[in-house]
């Protein structure tokens, strides 16, 4: 099992942060007392008895009531009123790409041509399914869709004033599971070919502004499955009427290459222009770093959205020897055997804070945005995501940066 | 540090904190208790944090300690059993069930090391600082977890 597979398995198990956990954090915040605050109408409700109260408190209750000074009760009442008025007002519907790349993310205007909105809407029984947005940047496919139970007369989720979104409750999740329409299998079909959700992909779901509506945002790192799309691509999402496919049924209907054919039912289908410009680079010069490891650009895909970089590496015999001298030959197993240390284990800490520089060592992106930087270390490869930078690729380097923002070009790995 | 700064910085770590909690507790309800406890504890002791640069490792350490307290409480109450993991999604597919079972067999200490290292990309040294254990112990736990996961998943796939 490779490190990449372990990461994927852990990602699969952990999933996104559950709404309950998010609410628990918000609830804790609401109990914090800010003695230094000068603005009385603060996000934080303050009260001396809250400050001295035991930290453990009832979950999912942003504001406590009872046993308070009158001023605090009034403040709570006003805030509750404000919150409830927000709860019926429209929330912010973040743009698809801001879900993955942060609120500040701005799409390069040249990619607008490849971004499709109001893609397709279908009414299936009592449900409305809408693919609202889709874009492929040359590496990753992003899709946002909503499903609405048209018979519902209530908004799903609970309003969260930090994100200005409604997060789904456990009860909502149970209800959505019971819907007759929605995601019924964990793969999608691209040009009729089954595609599993690749490693380093992800998604989020939250409640929409219409009664019974839930919104999904998903990102597929297709490069991780070796997929590169071009032209007009047929995309089929299994988010229509839920289908019951047993394990036996799936086995029986597999194609010769082991994949499943695109199902006839339960699918929402649309097409997308996948010709967004992307520049592919591979196999850069091998550099020997001061610690003895040999590192090179394995491949990079520079899109107008992000620059995805994978480095290859080998550690030296001396590094291995030093590591073994410090930590032993490997992991001692219960049966007495020794499992050798994987290379990733013996690699130093330099891959954790890399930045892009020019040949003079000038940092090309002063501050990395949300979700940029290191994405994972496997045996023999390291994955990064950086912003797209207009510049001479041949004169660019990737180099470790200290906490003080300094780079040492002795550690620079050429990208060209 | 004012409340707004504290909350903003903590929210940036939301996913990481969840990974610590779920890695150690494997139970959503306990995760929610632990994170509340940890945040309030951290807020109360915020004056101990002298350098914002260490906010991440400081809050992660407090969160890990809060999880340890929950584990101790579970043991004390005789309900320590990862497999019970309540509040799980109502419908999960076979592969997820297998994976969940495999991860359930890892000890909380091993699981949280695996999560921080593989999922969050936290270097071994920082994992060690966060959990207040030697680096060698982190490496041993990672190795143990890797081996056990591979073995269990191989058995199931066979």
Q: At what angle do helices B14-25 and A19-30 cross, to 10 degrees?
A: 110
If you count residue pairs, one on A and one on B, with CB atoms under 8 Å apart, how many are there? 146
Question: What Cα–Cα distance (Å) separates residue A341 from each residue in A10, A78, A315, B140?
Answer: 21, 60, 12, 10
Residue of A8, A16, A21 to mutate when probing chain B, most B C-beta within 10 A? A21
Structure tokens at A333: 């197993």
Q: Note whether A25 contacts B33, CB cutoff 8 Å.
A: no
Query: Given this model, what pLDDT does residue A68 score?
Result: 26
Distance of alpha carbon A349 from its chain centroid, rounded? Answer: 24
Contact by Cβ (8 Å): A281, A297? yes
Of B36, B93, B96, the CB nearest to A27: B36
Of A55, A173, A186, the CB nearest to B44: A55
Listed ranges A253-267, A291-305, B57-71; the one with the highest mean pLDDT: A291-305
Q: What is the pLDDT of residues B30-82, one digit of tens each?
A: 898 899 989 988 888 887 777 777 888 888 888 988 888 887 776 655 443 33
CB atoms within 10 A of CB A89: 10
Q: Note whether B36 contacts A11, CB cutoff 8 Å.
A: no
Q: State what percent of residues in chain A have pLDDT above 70.
A: 82
Residue of B4, B118, B138 to mutate when probing chain A, most A C-beta within 10 A? B118
Q: Note whether B121 contacts A24, CB cutoff 8 Å.
A: no
Chain A positions in Cβ-Cβ contact with residue B32 (cut-off 8 Å): 20-21, 23-24, 59
Report whether pLDDT(A154) > 70. yes
**Terminal CA-to-CA distance of chain B, rounded, Å?**
54
**Assembly ipTM:** 0.81
Residue of B32, B38, B82 to mutate when probing chain A, most A C-beta within 10 A? B32
Q: What is the pLDDT of residues A95-104, one digit of tens each?
A: 899 888 887 8
Round to whole Å and give the CA distance between A175 and B89.
Answer: 11
Query: Given this model, what pLDDT does residue A272 score?
Result: 97
If pLDDT is split at 50, 70 and 90, which confidence band does A145 have? very high
Q: Any CB–CB contact under 8 A between A173 and chain B?
A: yes
Q: What is the pLDDT of residues B77-106, one digit of tens each?
A: 544 333 333 333 333 345 555 566 666 677
Q: Any CB–CB contact under 8 A between A61 and chain B?
A: no
Round to whole Å and give the CA distance between A54 and A52.
Answer: 7
CB atoms within 10 A of CB A67: 11
Report whether pLDDT(A292) > 50. yes
Report whether pLDDT(A404) > 90. no
Report whether pLDDT(A81) > 60. no
Of B19, B53, B121, the CB nearest to A403: B53
If pLDDT is split at 50, 70 and 90, which confidence band does A365 have? confident
Q: What is the pLDDT of residues A375-395, one digit of tens each?
A: 777 778 888 999 998 878 889
Q: Any CB–CB contact under 8 A between A247 and chain B?
A: yes
Query: By mean pLDDT, which of A25-29, A139-143, A208-212 is the weakest?
Result: A25-29
DSSP per position, A121-151 = EEEETTEEEEEEEEEE-SSEEEEEEEEEETT
A267 versus A22: which is more confidently predicted? A267
Q: What is the pLDDT of residues A175-200, one digit of tens each?
A: 998 999 999 887 899 999 998 877 77
Distance of alpha carbon A415 from its chain centroid, rounded? Answer: 26
Query: Given this model, what pLDDT does residue A55 score?
Result: 29
Q: Any CB–CB contact under 8 A between A248 and chain B?
A: no
If pLDDT is split at 50, 70 and 90, which confidence band does A355 have? very high
Distance of alpha carbon A65 from its chain centroid, rounded? Answer: 37
Of B2, B36, B87, the CB nearest to A28: B36
Chain B positions in Cβ-Cβ contact with residue A376 (cut-off 8 Å): 118, 121
Contact by Cβ (8 Å): A212, A151? yes
Average pLDDT for residues A264-272, to the nearest whole number?
96
Structure tokens at A74: 């009034």
Q: Which of B10, B87, B90, B101 is nearest to A28 (CA)?
A: B10
Chain A positions in Cβ-Cβ contact with residue B117 (cut-off 8 Å): none
The helix/strand count (H/E) of chain B reads as: 8, 0
Average pLDDT for residues A10-14, to the nearest whole number?
74
Structure tokens at A101: 């790349």
Distance of alpha carbon B132 from its chain centroid, rounded? Answer: 13
Q: Is B25 helix (H, G, I), strand (E, B) or coil?
A: helix
Contact by Cβ (8 Å): B32, A59? yes
Q: Enumerate residues 6+ apart whose C-beta is below 8 A from B5.
A: none
Report whether pLDDT(A48) > 50. no
Chain A positions in Cβ-Cβ contact with residue B100 (cut-off 8 Å): 13
The helix/strand count (H/E) of chain A reads as: 9, 22
Of A11, A32, A36, the CB nearest to B43: A32
Q: Note whether A21 contacts B35, CB cutoff 8 Å.
A: yes
Report whether pLDDT(A32) > 60. yes
Query: By mean pLDDT, which of A70-74, A115-119, A214-218, A285-289 is the weakest?
Result: A70-74
Beta strands at A268-273 and A232-237: parallel, antiparallel or unpaired: antiparallel
If pLDDT is split at 50, 70 and 90, which confidence band does A80 have? very low
Round to whole Å and give the CA distance between A271 and A116.
Answer: 9
Q: Which of B10, B136, B113, B15 is nearest to B62 (CA)?
A: B10
CB atoms within 10 A of CB B92: 12
Round to whole Å and give the CA distance between A213 and A176.
Answer: 10
Three-class HEC string of A321-373: HHHHHHHCCEEECCCCCEEECCHHHHCCCHHHHEEEEECCCCECCCCCCCCCE
Query: Given this model, what pLDDT does residue A190 score?
Result: 96
- Average pLDDT along chain A: 80
Nearest chain B Cα distance for residue A279, angstroms:
27
Residue of A2, A3, A5, A6 to mutate when probing chain B, most B C-beta within 10 A? A6
Round to whole Å and give the CA distance between A219 and A204.
Answer: 9
Q: Any CB–CB contact under 8 A between A250 and chain B?
A: no
Of B2, B31, B90, the CB nearest to A37: B2
Query: Given this model, what pLDDT does residue A269 score?
Result: 97
Round to whole Å and give the CA distance between B70 and A333.
Answer: 30
Average pLDDT for residues A25-42, to the nearest whole number?
58
Round to whole Å and give the CA distance between B145 and B148.
Answer: 5
Q: Note whether B103 contacts A376, CB cutoff 8 Å.
A: no
Contact by Cβ (8 Å): A1, A10? no
């Amino acid at each position: 099992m490779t490190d990449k597979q372990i990461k994927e398995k852990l990602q699969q198990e952990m999933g996104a942060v559950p709404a309950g956990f998010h609410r628990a954090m918000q609830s804790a915040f609401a109990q914090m007392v800010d003695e230094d605050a000068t603005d009385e109408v603060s996000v934080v409700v303050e009260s001396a008895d809250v400050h001295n109260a035991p930290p453990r408190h009832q979950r999912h209750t942003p504001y406590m009531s009872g046993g308070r000074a009158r001023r605090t009760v009034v403040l709570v009442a006003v805030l509750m009123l404000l919150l409830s008025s927000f709860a019926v007002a429209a929330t912010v519907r973040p743009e698809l790409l801001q879900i993955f790349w942060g609120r500040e993310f701005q799409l390069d205007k040249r990619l607008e041509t490849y971004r499709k909105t109001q893609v397709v809407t279908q009414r299936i029984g009592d449900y409305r399914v809408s693919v609202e947005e889709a874009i492929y940047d040359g590496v990753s496919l992003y899709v946002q869709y909503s499903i609405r139970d048209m018979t519902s007369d209530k908004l799903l989720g609970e309003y969260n004033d930090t994100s200005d979104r409604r997060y789904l409750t456990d009860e909502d999740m149970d209800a959505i599971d019971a819907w007759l329409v929605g995601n019924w299998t964990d793969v999608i079909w691209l040009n009729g070919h089954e595609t599993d959700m690749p490693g380093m992909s992800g998604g989020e779901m939250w409640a929409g502004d219409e009664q019974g509506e839930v919104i999904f945002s998903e990102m597929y790192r297709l490069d991780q499955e070796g997929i590169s799309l071009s032209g007009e691509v047929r995309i089929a999402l299994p988010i229509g009427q839920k289908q019951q496919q047993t394990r036996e049924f799936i086995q029986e209907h597999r194609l010769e290459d082991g994949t499943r054919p695109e199902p006839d039912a339960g699918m929402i289908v649309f097409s997308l222009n996948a010709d967004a410009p992307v520049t592919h680079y591979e196999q850069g010069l091998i550099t020997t770093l001061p610690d003895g490891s040999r590192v090179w650009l394995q491949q990079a895909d520079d899109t107008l959205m992000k620059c995805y970089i994978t480095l290859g590496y080998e550690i030296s015999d001396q590094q291995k020897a030093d590591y073994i001298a410090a930590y032993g030959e490997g992991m001692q197993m219960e049966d007495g055997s020794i499992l050798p240390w994987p290379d990733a284990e013996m690699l130093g800490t330099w891959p954790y804070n890399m930045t892009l520089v020019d040949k003079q060592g000038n940092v090309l992106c002063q501050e990395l945005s949300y979700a940029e930087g290191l994405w994972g270390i496997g045996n023999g490869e390291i994955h990064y995501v950086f912003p797209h930078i207009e510049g001479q690729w041949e004169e660019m380097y990737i180099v470790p940066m200290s906490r003080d923002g300094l780079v040492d070009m002795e550690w620079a790995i050429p990208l060209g | 540090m004012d409340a707004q700064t504290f909350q903003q910085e903590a929210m940036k770590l939301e996913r990481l904190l969840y990974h610590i909690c779920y890695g150690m507790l494997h139970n959503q309800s306990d995760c929610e208790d632990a994170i509340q406890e940890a945040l309030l504890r951290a807020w109360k002791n915020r004056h101990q944090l002298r350098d914002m640069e260490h906010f991440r490792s400081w809050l992660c350490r407090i969160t890990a300690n809060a999880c340890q307290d929950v584990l101790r409480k579970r043991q004390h109450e005789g309900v320590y059993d990862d497999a019970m993991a309540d509040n799980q999604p109502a419908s999960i597919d076979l592969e997820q069930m297998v994976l969940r079972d495999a991860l359930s067999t890892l000890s909380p200490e091993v699981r949280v090391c695996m999560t921080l290292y593989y999922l969050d990309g936290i270097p071994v040294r920082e994992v060690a600082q966060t959990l207040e254990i030697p680096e060698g112990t982190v490496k041993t736990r990672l190795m143990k977890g890797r081996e056990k996961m591979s073995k269990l998943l191989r058995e199931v796939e066979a």
